[in-house]
Amino acid sequence: MSGTVGDSTGGSTGDAIGDSIGGSAGEELLRVEELLRVEELRVGFGGRGARRGPAVVDGVSFTLRAGRSLAIVGESGSGKSVTARSLVGLAGAGAWTSASALEVVGASVLGPVGADGIARGLSAAAWRKLRGRAIGLVVQDALVSLDPLRPIGREIGDALRLHTPLSAAERRARVLSLLESVGMPDPASRVHQRSGELSGGLRQRALIASALAASPRLLIADEPTTALDSTVQAQILALLEGVRDAGTGLLFISHDLAVVSRIADDVLVMRAGRVVESGPVAQVLGDPRHEYTKALLRAVPTGVPRGVALSARPAPPAPPDPAVSGAPTGASSSDPVLEVTGVSKRFGDRLAVDDVSLSLPAGTTLGLVGESGSGKTTLARIALGLAAPDTGAVRLDGLPWAPGPERDRRSRRPLVGAVYQDALSSFDPRMTVRQILADALRGASAPRPVDELLDDVGLSPSLAGARPLELSGGQRQRVSIARALAPSPRVIVLDEPVSALDVSIQAQILDLLDRLQREHGVAYLFISHDLGVVQHMSDTLAVMKDGRVLEQGRASAVFDNPAHPYTQALLAAAPRIGPR
């Protein structure tokens, strides 16, 4: 039987399911072994009945049993997140969903079709009962998902209050137990903290604790480890593996194939709303059949030598000729364009950067890695002249850069550019691309036409009139790179420039950065939590922890033979595609 279900409509079938989840029949539902049965799922947006909008998810089928993990992978826009959210009634406003079968934890969420051609489906109240009691949901950005005004203990306690018969005292004890089970340090103190007072890893642990509060049979995790450093990522994955091994079904959404290789038993590969390949993870990632899956795997940077393109993977290019490389006259790879000497920076009682010294030769890339809070971003701000060191000094092209008054840096600011993780928040949303780049060209020694800049970063000049919100994530990051490149800088600081992008777009941006460096002779200070990306991009590497550089040297040497125990642990924690 085919049916259609809305996100927020209600009906007798939906109310009955909601009542059963909360009543005696709920216990039987919560003992089922087949947690998801999806047949010919289609999801779209807009319109009603025969005039509804086109499907963005088209003909997706799969099952998930208790104690198993299924990953859905694909590029941005492939339909993986819409698929997951449609299973819990969160596809979004104006969404329509149809399927031959759609069972969640043993309950069909397809309702009878009315005279208008639209099914009633589950009521909003029934969806809330099903989500809280039977299904847990973990999303990427815990900072947005958690209420910034409430302590995390109350956030987790809400799920217990709504879905369990526990008393207030029992709920408080259960919250502490949950936080302890997800590896939260000092739960008795953390329970009173708000989300903004926690690191990214601790926020994600709190969100997982909230999702697990009512002991759901099914956990849906949508990009739960994106933008986390390798050690925290490994801890979150180990936590999710423990949840799965305890009998919970895990539906895992990610664009990170290395993470999927570690966490998943089975995998679906989606493209343009359809499943192009599926099967056991070792088969799909180890011996892919579909060309799209093969292309995704080729785009993974881990182990790919510097200079080898990721998006097309041609033969390695010839080394650049210094005479035509675009580097300023007289510069050589041994001349440091940026020198950091004995720099320290304190915020209150916390020493964020502690006696750091680094050297960045012209036309090369220095990778900077370390856990969240290690001091990477503070050091980057000092290098950009946006924060003054308490002690030590920074020199740019052999001349003093920081500390010192801003008026001394103003005329030389075009020599240093920056590209950030979230390009959208770094733009004025009211400005067009042409206005953004024209503004960046002010003060340039040799201004270039905006259309030429766009062409240089692989964008059509027809996009010059677009605003940031009208661009895709990859297009916005290309505009961000064009803005940094506009005044012909000597150094560009790249702070997590590809961590928000899926693997194929990431590959294109990394190839672009490599080409621009060879053509323009610009040096990169490259900051990332993704060790595979850093290994692919870097000539030299510095590893930071607690504000100090613990190890630095040629990137290949550090990755192949790390000397410091912390570097060894950091590299060991990074997921890799291959047998578990």
Q: Residue 179: pLDDT band by 50, 70, 90 thresholds? A: very high
The model's pTM: 0.82
What pLDDT was estimated at residue 286? 95
**How far apart (Å, rounded) are the C-alpha atoms in residues 215 and 66?**
13
**Mean per-residue pLDDT, 204-233:** 88
What pLDDT was estimated at residue 435? 95
**How far apart (Å, rounded) are the C-alpha atoms in residues 57 and 44?**
7
Q: Going edge to edge, which strands form the sheet with 249-253?
A: 135-138, 218-222, 249-253, 69-73, 266-271, 274-280
Q: Residue 317: pLDDT band by 50, 70, 90 thresholds? A: very low
Neighbours of 289 (CB within 10 A): 12
pLDDT in tens, 558-578: 999 999 999 999 999 999 998
CA distances from 575 to 192, 222, 302 (A): 33, 18, 10
Mean pLDDT of the chain: 86
Q: Residue 326: pLDDT band by 50, 70, 90 thresholds? A: very low
At 524, list the tokens.
């990169």
Any bridge partners for residue 338, and if so which? 360, 396
pLDDT-wise least confident of 97-101, 226-230, 430-434: 226-230
Amino acid at the residue 336: P
Helix or strand (DSSP H, E) at 167: none
Q: Residue 333: pLDDT band by 50, 70, 90 thresholds? A: low
Kindly report whether the peptide bond that precedes residue 316 is cis, defined as omega within 30 degrees of 0: no
pLDDT-wise least confident of 136-145, 395-404, 463-472: 136-145
At 573, list the tokens.
């924690």
Place of tokens 């919100």: 469
pLDDT in tens, 449-488: 999 999 999 999 999 999 998 988 889 999 999 999 999 9
Q: Are 515 and 314 in contact (CB under 8 A)?
A: no
Residue 32 has pLDDT above 70, yes or no: yes
Give the chain's domains with CATH numbers: 136-215 (no CATH), 336-573 (3.40.50.300)
**3-state DSSP assignment of residue 476:** helix
